[in-house]
Amino acid sequence: MTAGPSTHATAPEAPTPEVLRAQLATVLARARARSAALTDCVDESELIAQHSPLMSPLVWDLAHIGNQEELWLVRDVGGREPVRRDIDEIYDAFKHARADRPALPLLNPAEARGYVAEVRDKVWDILDRSPLAGRPVERDGFAFAMIAQHEQQHDETMLATHQLRSGPAVLRAVPAPDPVHAVTPEEVVIPGGEFTMGTSTDPWALDNERPAHQVNVATFALDVAPVTNGQYREFIADGGYDRAELWSERGWAHRRSAGLTAPQFWERDGAGDWWRRSFGILAPLNPNQPVVHVCYFEAEAYARWVGKRLPTESEWEKAARWDPATRRSRRYPWGDEEPGSEHANLGQRHLEPAGVGAYPRGRSPHGVDQLIGDVWEWTSSDFLPYPGFAAFPYREYSEVFHGGDYKVLRGGSFGTDQVACRGTFRNWDHPVRRQIFAGFRCARDVTESA
């Protein structure tokens, strides 16, 4: 199943230890600045409150970030004495469901801030001393990068908590850009054939992205852009939520039991116009932005309504990475260079998806827009291991979720940091989840002519 060398993504040139150390310091500092911004903007009562049973109190996320950093960087990589061994069980995400965490003896906000600061002070010293080589967990700074990714993932979770909280708006960001070019045609045809999926060369890739392997994908058509609010509004107007034939059996049962009638956070006024509540601000629905806060079943029903389907995970990745001119898989749709503000809507620069057509420099070689950033995109694939998968550095990151009730999402959202987003990155969640920043695009089969 291993790909030939001509089809692999180019391995990044190994930086010097000094350059690598600076890169790791940058991603760690960026994550911590974001964690502080998401927790310093609310008072103590809001930090300890549970804003939804689906989410932890913000103060739990903050201390959990520090505890993971202590476990891996202070104790494992640094070989130092524990800072707070007594709280390991409290902040073990597998020991307590989110709904139960408010009842735990959590660190209060001042204690949590002091704890994460003490851990980080030790980590700076460990980073300075680490050879960034040797054991696999230390090689190329993997453990430091893993912790930066972990913190940014929790930052996105905390951002979702902010979306669920009630009360005045506390987050600020400049508006997302409007389209700068027309997204035409509506879809593109991706020719069938093999491509290299996953990676064996990206030093900071997580275990579920590995190893690189060849996948043969049949010819298919894919929407050039994610489904927009305006398009989804037409689905609602055509009775999409009332037509059982558009939904899978399980999806229809969930639509009825959960009382779904529109994407989460949509509200209709007395005149019949749609508005969307975003981080405490109610504004008229922007028809050009990708729809967000829809579950897998809603995406599936919409796709059936337009006579299409959701793409598979391998179809999504081929559209995002495969360059037919060079016959190799890129790291990103636009190439191997790191994302810039001209490529994609990432990193919480904006608090909303950008209008479709806002990032022409982020297009894939096949002409597909906005595959990275804006909204996580539901695929039809279950979360399963790749051939040759090996858990690293611990089973609980990916392996324990394989084969469960999870669908794969790809591409990242406006709330995803670039360190935790690339063409191979895999996210997963239950198909009923709507609090995540998820949207979708549609695909369809193409019959190849003889």
Q: Annotated binding site: which residue ranges?
A: 64, 98-101, 150, 154, 429, 433
Following CA atoms 119, 62, 206, 443 in sequence, which dihedral angle do they give, to the nearest 10 degrees? -160
Residue 186's nearest CA partner among 44, 36, 307 is 307
CB atoms within 10 A of CB 328: 19
Cβ-count burial 142-154 (b if 16+ within 10 Å, e if not): bbbbbbbbbbbbb
Binding site for gamma-L-glutamyl-L-cysteine: residue ranges? 98-101, 429, 433
Say how far apart CA 268 and CA 255 lie, in whole Å: 19
Parallel, antiparallel, or unpaired for β 213-217 and 274-278?
unpaired
Binding site for Fe cation: residue ranges? 64, 150, 154
Residue 28's nearest CA partner among 66, 76, 61 is 66
Q: What is the DSSP letter of 138?
A: T
Say how far apart CA 285 and CA 274 lie, in whole Å: 6
Parallel, antiparallel, or unpaired for β 328-329 and 427-429?
unpaired
Strand partners, 137: none
164 burial level (CB within 10 Å; 0-12, 13-18, 19+): middle
Q: What is residue 7's three-state secondary structure?
A: helix
If you count them, how many residues does the chain have?
450
Say how far apart CA 427 and CA 377 lie, in whole Å: 9
Alpha helices in 210-295 (DSSP H): 229-237, 249-258
Max Cα-Cα span within the chain: 69
Residue 375's nearest CA partner among 289, 266, 247 is 289
Say how far apart CA 123 and CA 73 lie, in whole Å: 6
Instruction: Report in angstroms the alpha-carbon separations of 144 from 25, 137, 210.
Output: 9, 9, 19
Tokens 């804003």 locate to 51
Phi, psi of 379 (to 5 degrees): -115, 170
Cα Rg of the chain (Å, integer): 22
